[in-house]
Amino acid sequence: MAVRRPGSRLPLWHRFGRDDRGATAIEFALVSIPFFIFLMCFIGCSLYFFMVSSLEKGMDDASRLIRTGQAVAQGMTVDQFRTTICQQAGGWFDCTKLQVWTQPYDNWSDISNSGLSDVQSDGVHNCLGTNETVLGNANYSSKIAQQAGSASDVVIVTVCYPWSFASQIPFMHFQTMQSGSMMLQSSTAFRTEPLPGAGS
């Protein structure tokens, strides 16, 4: 019977099993992969909600100008109204890509359920068709009063923005458009104040 002498070397597989050097690095490598995936998803969701919240704030603040009649009294144009939305939303948006849709109604019951539509039947869901800024394909220099209704009218304002950065976020499939962008949409409905001259 062979007797192992003190200090004699163990077989390779025995020494490999007992050697715990580098165990921490291996454990970190195993944990780091799901951790960084979770981190990127968390950052992506945070950016999404930040952009949506900023867009909603800009739209709400700018729409108040229509609700109170200030946009009409100031002779605000479609382009000025769109610029106001961008300014109130912060410097996170390319204002040239912002799409604005307004629609006045006489009563709340007259509002129709309309959402994003494939207006050109090309698989791209936009708020509006190409070069349309407000309902009726109004020109940028047109007065917002033409689309803001009259005093005490119910008005819906919808703002859409193709968020191109969505395609740059790894592990997140935010893209809802063929271009790889994600269409952000925010809407508000209100009744304009009964101010004289509103909608003229």
> For the segment 134-156, what is each residue's pLDDT rounded down to a tens digit?
444 456 677 887 777 788 889 88
Q: Are strands 182-191 and 99-105 parallel, antiparallel or unpaired?
A: unpaired
The count of structural domains within the chain is 1
Q: Is residue 185 part of a domain?
A: yes
- pLDDT by residue (tens digit) across 152-172? 889 888 888 888 876 677 666
| Structural domain boundaries, residue 53 | 23-191
On whether the pTM is more than 0.85, the answer is no
CB-based burial of residue 151 (10 Å sphere; 0-12 exposed, 13-18 middle, 19+ buried)? middle
